[in-house]
Structure 1
Amino acid sequence: MKQYFKNIIQTSSSLLYGLKITMRHFWQARNSRKPVGVEDKTYFEQKDGIVTLQYPFEELPVPDTGRYQLHNEIDDCIVCDKCAKVCPVNCIDIEPVRAVEEIGKTSDGTSKRIYAAKFDIDMSKCCFCGLCTVVCPTECLTMTKDYDFSVFDLKEHNFEFGDMSPELVAEKQAEFEAHQAEKEKAKAVAAAAKAESATSEEVQKPASAKATAGKGGFKPKV
């Protein structure tokens, strides 16, 4: 009987102690913790307050070196195709169209001579390795701090950065093909002129050799 009441007292004491801790947390939860990243010096000093953030109204800051959604500043892109070649999962799809002359310069002064008829990045395939941003010569391809881009349809993960219409692409392709045809024609004319000049020189050489032999006139021995 004595042990019975002792157990009741211990149980009640444990219950009251637990309620005490709960009420203390309730009292401390009147305010929320300041949303700071783990790199902040005060991160581990915040021991009291509500931990849960009211997302998306509150967000923890992400690191500057984080690997999240890819973005291409198309005005600085020279369409060198290095990012597509180094990508281990082939999530970057590029269709270049060569220009007949310089079409502009990037922010760092690099000449642009290729149009980006298509520059698509399929983030549903991306493994977030960051290799494409490393090899980019103009640093136009970067990883942003946007990490929440979940969708219901995977097609929405395909981001298009090319800003050329199909009509403009066809026009620039035809322009480049015409330019190439003119260059080939000019090369053919130059080659024909060179061949004709070489032929005329060969024809003149025997004639001049005969004239020289006639003037020298060597006499046979009798």
Structure 2
Amino acid sequence: MMKSKLFNVFKTVGKGMSLTLTHFFAASESRKVKSITDINYFSQNSGTTTIQYPHQKLPLPEVARYQLDVEMDDCIVCDLCAKICPVDCIEIESIKATEAIGKTSDGTTKRLYAAKFDIDMAKCMYCGLCTVVCPTECIIMTDTYDRSTLTLNEMVYKFSDMSASEAEEKRIALEKQNAERLASKQAASQPDKTKK
């Protein structure tokens, strides 16, 4: 009884060691990096699967979804991307302009300033919904997948280039315009006493 148990122990250890040694000697060569569309992609049975990153990189599929990027010149600050985001990783603050401030590349008139346009990539689940709803296609998914940082605060990407003082200037100009419109509306609604 004891001999059979001891035999099973050595047999099991022998199988494990032979498997380990097989992988150890097979790992002396590395696999060739192939495109995922290659017919023989899954046929490589030998060699180590580790690649020498960043010198070697795996090929990316065409439909890959990675880091977000925003072309602020095309953004109309419609807030649709922030509303559809399932994890609330997009934070937008808009300021209404006193007049049209330009046009996007597709000819859409811009009427809002982006005082804040932040995307927290640590929260982002790379679903791509924000890119689908964007009417001007200013928010896109790039092929960049590695932006390693030391702190989570560095994962918040700020796309708006408006400073706090510029944003305050725009707010004051809007308040002034709104006050002037209200005063002219009130003046127009009051009856003229000089006609009596």
Give the TM-score of the pair, scaled to structure 2.
0.78
Identify the match of residue 60 of structure 1 among 50, 58, 61: 58
2:116 counterpart letter in structure 1: K
Within a 5 Å distance, the mapping from 1:8-157 to structure 2 comes to 29=29, 33-41=31-39, 43-44=41-42, 51-157=49-155
Per-residue CA deviations over 1:81-134 (Å, capped at 9, x if unaligned) read 111111111111111011111111111111111111100001111122211111
Any conservation in 1 of the 2:90–2:117 contact (CA below 8 Å)?
A: yes
The unaligned stretches of length 5 or more in structure 2 are 1-18
Tell me whether 182-191 or 32-41 shows the greater mean CA deviation. Answer: 32-41
Question: 1:36–1:104: structure 2 CA closer, same or farther, 3 Å change rule?
Answer: farther
Measured after TM superposition, the shift of residue 176 of structure 1 is 1.0
Please report how far the alpha carbon of residue 35 of structure 1 lies from its aligned counterpart in structure 2 after TM superposition: 2.4
Provide the C-alpha distance between the structure 2 equivalents of 1:156 and 1:42, rounded to a whole number of angstroms: 40
Residue 37 of structure 1, CA deviation: 2.4
Q: Helix, strand or coil for the counterpart of 1:151?
A: coil
* Structure with max Cα Rg: 1
Distance 1:174 1:40 in 2: 59
More helix by share: 1
Q: Secondary structure at the match of 2:92?
A: strand
Q: State the 1:71 CA deviation.
A: 1.1
Residue 159 (structure 2) aligns with: 161
Structure 1 residue 49: Cα displacement: 6.4
- 1:87 to 1:26, Cα distance in 2 relative to 1, 3 A: closer
Tell me the distance in 2 between the aligned counterparts of 1:99 and 1:81: 16
Instruction: Measure, in 1, the Cα distance between the counterparts of 2:166 and 2:183.
Output: 26
Name stretches of at least 5 consecutive residues in structure 1 with no aligned partner: 1-17, 204-222
Aligned mates of 2:46, 2:85 — CA distance in 1 = 45
AA at the equivalent of 1:99: A
Higher relative contact order (CA 8 A, sep 6+): 2
For residues 122 and 50 of structure 2, what CA distance do their matches in structure 1 show?
29
Contact in 1 for aligned 2:65/2:128 (Cα 8 Å): yes
User: In structure 2, what is the Cα distance between the partners aligned to 1:34 and 1:109?
Assistant: 47
Matched residue SS, 1:181: helix
3-state SS of 1:156 partner: helix
Q: What is the rounded CA distance, in whole Å, between the counterparts of 1:76 and 1:26 in structure 2?
A: 50
SS at match of 1:190: helix
> Is the alpha carbon distance of 1:26 and 1:50 closer, same or farther for their aligned partners in structure 2, counting shifts above 3 Å?
closer
